[in-house]
Amino acid sequence: MADAATEPSDEALCRAFLAGDEAAFGTLVERHRALVFSLMRRYAPRPEDAADLAQQAFLRALEASRRVFSRWSPSSPAPFRAWLLRIALNLAKNHARQGRRWLQVVDVPETEAPDESAHEALERTERERRVRAAVLTLPRRQREVLTLRVDGGLGFRDIAETLGITETNAKVNFHHAVKRLRAQVADTPEEGR
């Protein structure tokens, strides 16, 4: 496997694709597949659904790519990742709106920790349920920033570029989202206590 220094940039791959190199788009897909899947996983109840949504995002990107890539200026870097994540995020939000499917999302690991008792596993599951419910109450922009930061692992500059906001705005939204989540989870009474 080639190291990152010798791999072509997203911009170079976009330009190669425009020049007729179909494999260049495949390289872009491989490079960003895990990131798009992790974002889709937040909005899809099952991994299979997330994989389908990720595939749809890449297909939409492929369909629009020649038109969009040709408009990018040769003097500035092609914002492929931000553009792709915007497509993925919009697709995921549309999916979530259809029947509020993200209420069914379960992020509980398939297996419990080896040293975890049944009681601890139930407490962990309940904590995760409360956090998921609290995330759903966040304002749209805070939820988007939180999702891109936590699930996508993006930096604030990339979040800002993806959502079309300033980096400061991304930081502020993340700060408020975390603050609200802490307050909501702390204020949520634990049932049965």
* 130: CATH: 1.10.10.10
Please state the φ and ψ torsions of residue 45, each to the nearest 5 degrees.
-70, -25
How would you class 110 by CB atoms within 10 Å of its CB: exposed for 0-12, middle for 13-18, buried for 19 or more?
exposed
How would you class 164 by CB atoms within 10 Å of its CB: exposed for 0-12, middle for 13-18, buried for 19 or more?
exposed
Nearest-angstrom CA–CA distance, 131 and 184: 8
Q: Is the pLDDT score of 102 beyond 50? A: no
Same domain, 20 and 78: yes
Would residue 110 count as lying in a domain? no
Lowest-confidence range among 77-81, 90-94, 156-160? 77-81
CB within 8 A of 180, min separation 6: which ones?
Answer: 134, 137, 138, 142
Q: Is the pLDDT score of 111 beyond 60? A: no
Q: Residue 50 is part of which domain span?
A: 9-102
Same domain, 64 and 122: no
Would residue 107 count as lying in a domain? no
Lowest-confidence range among 9-13, 48-52, 117-121? 117-121
Would residue 193 count as lying in a domain? yes
Nearest-angstrom CA–CA distance, 162 and 146: 13
Rounded to the nearest 5 percent, the helix, strand and coil shares of the chain are 70, 0, 30
| Per-residue confidence (pLDDT) for residue 55, from 0 to 100 | 94
Radius of gyration of the chain (CA): 19
Handedness of CA 50, 53, 57, 59 (dihedral sign): positive
Same domain, 97 and 182: no
Same domain, 98 and 14: yes
The encoded tokens of residue 49 equal: 């659904």
Nearest to 167 by CA among 178, 180, 177, 154: 154
Would residue 1 count as lying in a domain? no
Helix (H, G, I), strand (E, B) or coil at 137: helix
Q: At 56, is the pLDDT very low, low, confident or very high (cuts 50, 70, 90)?
A: very high
Same domain, 58 and 94: yes
Please state the φ and ψ torsions of residue 75, each to the nearest 5 degrees.
-85, -15
Same domain, 13 and 83: yes
Lowest-confidence range among 45-59, 93-107, 125-139? 93-107
Would residue 59 count as lying in a domain? yes
